[in-house]
Structure 1
Amino acid sequence: MYTFIGAIVALILGFVFYGKFIERFFGADDANPTPAIKKADGVDFSPMPTWKVFTIQFLNIAGLGPIFGAILGAMYGPMAYLWIVFGCIFMGATHDYFSGMLSIRHGGASIPEIVGKYLGKGFQNFLRVFTLLLLIFVGVAFVSGPAGLLANLTGGGLSIWLYVIFAYYLVATLLPINKIIGKIYPFFGAALIIMALAIAGAMLFGRASGTVNMPELSVASFANWHHHPAENILFPMMFIVISCGALSGFHSTQVPLMARTIKKESYGRYVFYGAMIAEGIVAIIWATAAMTFFGGAEGLNLTMQLDGHNPAWVVNEISIAWLGSIGAIFAIIGVIACPITTGDTAFRSARLTIADVFKFDQSTIKKRLIISIPLFAVGFLLSQLEFATIWKYLGLSNQILAVVVLWTGAMYLAKVKKPHWYLSLPAVFMTVVCVIYLLVAPLKNGGFAIDTNIGMSIGIISGIFALILFIYRAKNSVLIVQEV
Structure 2
Amino acid sequence: MLTFIISIGLLIVAYFTYGKFVERFFGASSAIATPVKRLADGVDYHELKPWRIFVIQFLNIAGLGPIFGAILGAAYGPMAYVWIVIGCIFMGATHDYFSGMLSIRHDGTSLPDIVGKYLGNNVRKFMTFFTGFLLLAVGVSFVNGPADLLGNLTNMSMTPWLYVIFAYYILATLLPIDKIIGKIYPFMGLALIFMAVAVGGYLLYGGFTGKLYLEELTFDTMKNMHADPANNILFPMLFIVISCGAISGFHATQSPMMARCMTDEKYGRPIFYGAMISEGIVAMIWATAAMAYFGGAEGLNAAAEAGKTPAIIVDVICNSWLGRLGAIIAIVGVVVCPITSGDTAFRSMRLIIADALKFNQKPIKNRLIVSVPIFVVAYLLCNVDFSTIWKYVGIGNQVLATITLWTAATYLAKKGKAHWMMSLPATFLSIVCTTYFLIAPYKVGGLHLSPTISYPVGAIVGIGLFVLFITKITKNK
TM superposition score category, shorter chain reference: over 0.9
Distance in structure 2 (CA, Å) of the matches to 1:257 and 1:476: 35
Which residue of structure 2 lines up, in the alignment, with residue 363 of structure 1?
A: 362
Change (3 A) 1:389 1:311: farther
Distance in structure 1 (CA, Å) of the matches to 2:207 and 2:384: 43
Q: Give the SS at the match of 1:342.
A: helix
Structure 1 contact 226–301 (Cα < 8 Å) conserved: yes
Q: Which amino acid aligns with 1:331?
A: A
Output aligned runs, 1:61-100, within 5 Å.
61-100=61-100
Output aligned runs, 1:376-395, within 5 Å.
376-386=375-385, 388-395=387-394
Q: 1:101 Cα shift?
A: 0.2
Which residue of structure 1 lines up, in the alignment, with residue 147 of structure 2?
A: 147
Distance in structure 1 (CA, Å) of the matches to 2:178 and 2:73: 35
Q: Which amino acid aligns with 2:12?
A: I
Q: 1:387 Cα shift?
A: 5.5
Q: 1:356 Cα shift?
A: 0.2
Change (3 A) 1:227 1:386: farther
Which residue of structure 2 lines up, in the alignment, with residue 50 of structure 1?
A: 50
Distance in structure 1 (CA, Å) of the matches to 2:194 and 2:417: 39
Q: 1:389 Cα shift?
A: 3.6
Which residue of structure 2 lines up, in the alignment, with residue 373 of structure 1?
A: 372
Which residue of structure 2 lines up, in the alignment, with residue 219 of structure 1?
A: 219
Give deviations 1:394-420, integer Å, cap 9, x for gaps.
211110000000000000000000001
Q: 1:476 Cα shift?
A: 2.8
Q: Give the SS at the match of 1:221.
A: coil
Which residue of structure 2 lines up, in the alignment, with residue 398 of structure 1?
A: 397
Which segments of structure 1 move beyond 6 Å, counting only runs of 4 or more?
none
Q: 1:390 Cα shift?
A: 4.6
Q: 1:386 Cα shift?
A: 3.6
Distance in structure 2 (CA, Å) of the matches to 1:212 and 1:110: 45
Q: TM-score, normalised by structure 1?
A: 0.97
Q: Which amino acid aligns with 2:213?
A: N
Structure 1 contact 54–271 (Cα < 8 Å) conserved: yes
Q: Which amino acid aligns with 2:274?
A: G
Which residue of structure 2 lines up, in the alignment, with residue 3 of structure 1?
A: 3
Give deviations 1:11-55, integer Å, cap 9, x for gaps.
001111000000000000111000111111110001110000000
Which residue of structure 1 lines up, in the alignment, with residue 125 of structure 2?
A: 125
Distance in structure 2 (CA, Å) of the matches to 1:72 and 1:130: 25
Q: 1:187 Cα shift?
A: 1.0
Structure 2, unmatched stretches of 5+, are none
Q: 1:227 Cα shift?
A: 1.0
Distance in structure 2 (CA, Å) of the matches to 1:338 and 1:388: 20
Output aligned runs, 1:78-477, within 5 Å.
78-305=78-305, 307-386=306-385, 388-477=387-476
Q: Give the SS at the match of 2:328.
A: helix
Q: Give the SS at the match of 1:98.
A: helix
Q: 1:428 Cα shift?
A: 0.3
Distance in structure 2 (CA, Å) of the matches to 1:190 and 1:389: 34
Q: Which amino acid aligns with 1:57?
A: Q
Q: TM-score, normalised by structure 2?
A: 0.99
Q: Give the SS at the match of 1:45.
A: coil
Structure 1 contact 61–254 (Cα < 8 Å) conserved: yes
Which moved further from structure 2: 6-15 or 360-369? 360-369
Q: 1:231 Cα shift?
A: 0.6
Distance in structure 2 (CA, Å) of the matches to 1:226 and 1:383: 33
Q: Give the SS at the match of 2:17.
A: helix
Give deviations 1:205-228, integer Å, cap 9, x for gaps.
122222111111111001111111
Aligned length: 477
Give deviations 1:162-205, integer Å, cap 9, x for gaps.
11111110011110000011111011111101100000111111
Q: Which amino acid aligns with 1:114?
A: I
Distance in structure 1 (CA, Å) of the matches to 2:449 and 2:213: 39
Give identity over the alignment, percent.
Answer: 60
Q: Give the SS at the match of 2:88.
A: helix
Q: Which amino acid aligns with 1:425?
A: L
Output aligned runs, 1:11-30, within 5 Å.
11-30=11-30
Distance in structure 2 (CA, Å) of the matches to 1:93 and 1:334: 23
Q: 1:388 Cα shift?
A: 3.9
Q: Which amino acid aligns with 1:327?
A: G
Give deviations 1:81-123, integer Å, cap 9, x for gaps.
0000000000000000000000000000000000000000111
Q: Which amino acid aligns with 1:22?
A: V
Q: 1:366 Cα shift?
A: 1.5
Structure 1 contact 145–387 (Cα < 8 Å) conserved: no
Which moved further from structure 2: 138-147 or 26-35? 138-147
Structure 1 contact 141–390 (Cα < 8 Å) conserved: no
Distance in structure 1 (CA, Å) of the matches to 2:191 and 2:393: 25
Q: 1:59 Cα shift?
A: 0.1
Structure 1 contact 144–387 (Cα < 8 Å) conserved: no
Structure 1 contact 150–161 (Cα < 8 Å) conserved: yes
Q: 1:148 Cα shift?
A: 1.1
Distance in structure 1 (CA, Å) of the matches to 2:204 and 2:167: 42
Distance in structure 2 (CA, Å) of the matches to 1:386 and 1:199: 34
Distance in structure 2 (CA, Å) of the matches to 1:319 and 1:389: 31
